[in-house]
A and B are shown apart, each in its own frame.
Chain A
């Protein structure tokens, strides 16, 4: 948040663009609300006339007309409130919906780096509870603020009209109310924002205690987690009590000040009446009017708290909405006329925005060319930036130096939709959406035919999809059937294949598969890779075998490119990363021993080489 806080009015004015379409009806609603408020004030005037003109003289014939007038006014007030409600409510739900849609669209447009920073729970509370609060404030807060304000002013004028002295006494109460309200704003708004944040932290603690339940149980750390949770819950408790004390403070004064004023008015009014300076009707009208004004005055505290809450919600909403979209379509995009799938990393550099100062870039000038149709395996240590590198061509992250070039065009010069049509990805963690298998697999495909689907499922060896309860129409994910890790991974692979891209990027696509399935997938995948450019992140030798060439990523650069067997023989780092033989001496030993006897290699290899036992 910016250091200098906007004034509450300024902060809320940011809502204006969203409110504009609803503005005519909102104003209509305010007018209707004002009419209702004024009618409520008119009723005491009728009483005054009735009391003074008729009742004093014992003339009962005037009662009925007065009652009829009051019935008329009463009906009018009800209708005005009805109109106010109906005018305001529907457009306000539209404002809320449009703000929610705008937030969602914005979040989809914001780069992945933004989502890395923001937990989805924080985003969710903005999209749901904050917008809900803003809507209620627009429907009631704004309208009541205006209507009650005007009602109090007009009421005060009427009271002046009845008797200037009484009116002045009444009006004098405005000053202490103003002071109380200002003090309240200060106390309440601080606590309110803090309580929102603390509630968010508490929710996070709950989430972690549930997701990490196995770890907590395995180490018997339940009590540890509970202590942390209790501490946070106590903090929230303290803040909530602070809020409650602020509310108690304003309630106390907003009850005392108007009632005390009324007591003074009673004495003054009675004295005036006794002196004959005030008629009984005026006295009646005065107290009836003052009673009508009671609620608008009392409501000041509640409306203030409401407005401050709405202001916090608005701040939280615009915190997200004003984030810059750093990755977007270029102004004058270029096209790839003839997509062939030549991918080039040209001095590509990347560092995360929160990387420690003084450290080298994570990717420190990567140079690598993938010729059309070629498959390159990317090999490197955990944390060397392989996954980050694979996210650069489709601009999930933006290079911080150098360029990525697709078919001769810098990827930043292409429209995002076009770029991502050319490049399809399968991620390390297979993300599927709650939808049918068909929709999930054909997500990125232009060609939605049955053949494409079948072919993709075949390549990924995901035939199990046909045996699901509703076959490929089975809904999976959040509220549907849950799949095993291996099954999810195969569907994610099928999705990348089905998109028929010119460049395929696979991040360790077979890690969750057992050896037998892996072999089948590899065989089928080779057919696709024969004609498609592909960058494959590989952790084990079997995956490397898919590639024509291997690139070694080390210290942020590609330090070697070559065939698996060449690199194994010549590149020490490569051997270290992929072949698992401890060092050169042992390699030599091993070679020597292998030469002597092909039989004896079992035990030694087992200690080191990675493999999986098939299911």
Chain B
């Protein structure tokens, strides 16, 4: 694994030459992959834009022809050259117009196809990446990969590349036409290219630095803004508005100043281009005018040359701008390619084993778990849970309870040994069967935008409304759902702020109930419930857990009563294992925990 593979080194600024080369190679590979399927269309687009540009460039030459040949010929009574020139002009402009329209659509289609493919890839890949990746790579970063980074690629694809190609060819064709019409004028243009290249180079070097500065200042504005809006209650309650205004005003001013510096650069670059262009026109006029006066050059040709020179500078600004778009888009693509290079540590099996109806017998066989850095969380252990048994997992924070639960639900894979369901290694189980058989409910009960019913149906998308209602009734959520403005069809987002934490947990219980797994894992899933709700949930659990395997983690010892067996964990080891009654009667850790809990009730 190299020092910059995946997302490592994403925030580093001191990349070595070899490292940046590797990153560039990676993102280029991604780009080629994205473009490969539209190979044919790309060539078509290329031909279209080149032809369209060529058609536009012909114009002045035809004017020259018309003026120099058509006028005298017409004066002699021969309309043919003029008609040719006029028809040619009309034809070329028609061709140019049609092709340019076509090119715009072809380009948009390619751009949208690439974006769609890329969006899909990043989204799918993000979903496939394991939890350990999501835990270390913050949500904000993965979201901005899929939003603002994709935006900058879109900008480049939508405008940048098309402008670059058509602009570049426009300039090239114009130069060629100029040389063909009148070589000395071409020479003048060649000389003018030198200061032009110098100006463009100067602009690129300076603008790159200044653009980067605007991205930094804008990120700070965004952070302050989002923090204020998400914490608006606290802002108001503690009268932070005035101070916030000052802070925000300062950040906005920094951003403004950074922007102003960029614009000042443009303010110099743009007139610089015009100046070079105008001086070139003057120089061409000097060279051409002397020869026209000397009778060596036709007036029409001089006119065409002047038109060409003037047009030559038109796309300059766009070409220079392309470089900036390219800079930010390639930075974005580099980051995206890094995310796509990450491999899920919990990978789908190559040859999945099907398990249609799991009984729910679980075995941890010589299982060991540690983090990448070598820190062992769960030392080697064996554990057998017969089908249908309900286990309460007890112990202090950091004892490894959640880790054990995550191994069982295959959010993590063990570093040694295997977790087996009905004798099948979870790593070999078909992902669909695995998720149908084992479901975990955690403390954070996340609701997706959509209706209450849709959120519950996430447990089993094909469930009927009746089944959804039954699941809600079973966990005691039906009552509050019925009181919502539109019952089960209430949009949770519209009231998202007002579905309380406890109600959210009830909904996620209903979700799990509906999923009807053979193994159910509850990790602190009742922490926010009030007492009556907890009671309802516990009643439901009594029935729900009767014929299925369950692992329950809870701070509240009340859960223990519905367990067949209690496991006490300490520093990653299972230190006690027995029926609740036996353990309470004994003198171990659980007996003292139980005593402490009894005291706290008084």
Contacts and interface: CB of A to CB of B under 8 A. Distances in A.
Which label, helix, strand, loop or mixed, suits the secondary structure of the B interface? helix
Interface in B66-106: 66-67, 70-72, 74-75, 82-83, 85-87, 89-90, 92-94, 96-98, 100-102, 104-105
B290 A63 contact: yes
Interface in A281-315: 283-284, 287-288, 291-292, 295
Contact of B601 (A43, A90, A611): A611
A74 B503 CA distance: 72
Contacts of A82: 267-268, 270-271
A189 to B, nearest CB: 18
B503 to A, nearest CB: 6
Given A255-B96, A280-B299, A515-B596, A54 B432 contact: no
B116 to A, nearest CB: 6
Which residue, of A253, A434, A609, has the highest number of chain B Cβ atoms within 10 A?
A: A609
Contact of B500 (A288, A387, A542): A387
B279 A71 contact: yes
A10 interface: no
A47 B284 CA distance: 12
Which label, helix, strand, loop or mixed, suits the secondary structure of the A interface? helix
Contacts of A115: 229, 232
B518 to A, nearest CB: 14
A218 interface: yes
Contact of A382 (B92, B533, B561): B533
Interface stretch (B184-192, B215-223, B325-333, B465-473): B215-223
Interface residues of A, number: 171
B20 interface: no
Interface stretch (B39-47, B139-147, B415-423, B544-552): B139-147
13 contacts: A43-B281, A63-B293, A208-B449, A218-B441, A224-B461, A226-B120, A255-B93, A256-B97, A266-B89, A431-B231, A607-B538, A608-B538, A611-B601
Nearest to A292: B310
Given A82-B267, A90-B260, A210-B139, A104 B71 contact: no
Contacts of B484: 356
Contact of B432 (A105, A217, A220, A381): A220
Contact of B104 (A244, A515, A611): A244
A75 interface: yes
A417 B239 contact: yes
A124 interface: yes
Contacts of A206: 123, 143, 146-147
A612 interface: yes
A167 to B, nearest CB: 17
Interface stretch (A94-102, A365-373, A457-465, A556-564): A94-102
Contact of A208 (B71, B142, B448, B600): B448
A577 B530 CA distance: 8
A526 to B, nearest CB: 17
B28 interface: no
Contact of A78 (B272, B449, B494, B532): B272
A425 B278 CA distance: 68
Contact of B289 (A66, A221, A387): A66
B236 A112 contact: yes
Contacts of B116: 233-234, 237
Contact of B235 (A108, A280, A383, A391): A108
A423 B394 CA distance: 40
Interface in A248-265: 248-249, 251-253, 255-256, 259-260, 262-264
B8 interface: no
B278 A73 contact: yes
Interface stretch (A13-21, A142-150, A268-276): A268-276
Contacts of B206: none
Nearest to A82: B271
A490 to B, nearest CB: 15
Contacts of A50: 285, 289
A382 B285 contact: no
B556 interface: yes
A78 B82 contact: no
Nearest to B240: A443
B278 A240 contact: no
Contacts of B105: 241, 244-245, 248
A77 interface: yes
A420 interface: yes
Given A382-B502, A425-B237, A274 B74 contact: yes
B528 interface: yes
Interface string A37-60: 000000100010011001100111
Contacts of B120: 226, 229-230, 233
Given A226-B123, A252-B97, A602-B584, A288 B303 contact: yes
B303 A93 contact: no
Contacts of A2: none
Nearest to B87: A263
A101 B486 CA distance: 38
Contact of B66 (A36, A226, A266, A355): A266
B376 interface: no
Nearest to A386: B500
A249 B282 contact: no
A354 interface: yes
A383 B480 contact: yes
Contacts of B538: 607-608
B85 A266 contact: yes
B530 A539 contact: yes
A400 to B, nearest CB: 15
Interface string B326-346: 000000000000000000000
Contacts of A614: 396, 593, 596, 600
Contacts of B558: 605-611
Contacts of A444: 237-239
B322 interface: no
Contact of A578 (B146, B531, B596): B531
**Shortest beta-carbon contacts, A-B, top 6:** A220-B435, A74-B278, A259-B93, A244-B108, A252-B101, A85-B267
Interface string A578-615: 11101000000000000000000011011111111111
A4 B259 CA distance: 36
B67 A283 contact: yes
Which residue, of B139, B263, B461, B584, has the highest number of chain A Cβ atoms within 10 A?
A: B263
Which residue, of A55, A477, A539, A542, has the highest number of chain B Cβ atoms within 10 A?
A: A55
B256 A253 contact: no
Given A81-B274, A291-B307, A101 B109 contact: no
B177 interface: no
A483 interface: no
Given A108-B228, A424-B238, A443-B238, A271 B82 contact: yes
A72 to B, nearest CB: 9
B89 A270 contact: no
A585 B299 CA distance: 113
A81 to B, nearest CB: 4
Nearest to B434: A220
A567 B285 CA distance: 102
Contacts of B283: 67
A542 B60 CA distance: 90
B293 A580 contact: no
A288 B306 contact: yes
Contacts of B221: 100, 127-128
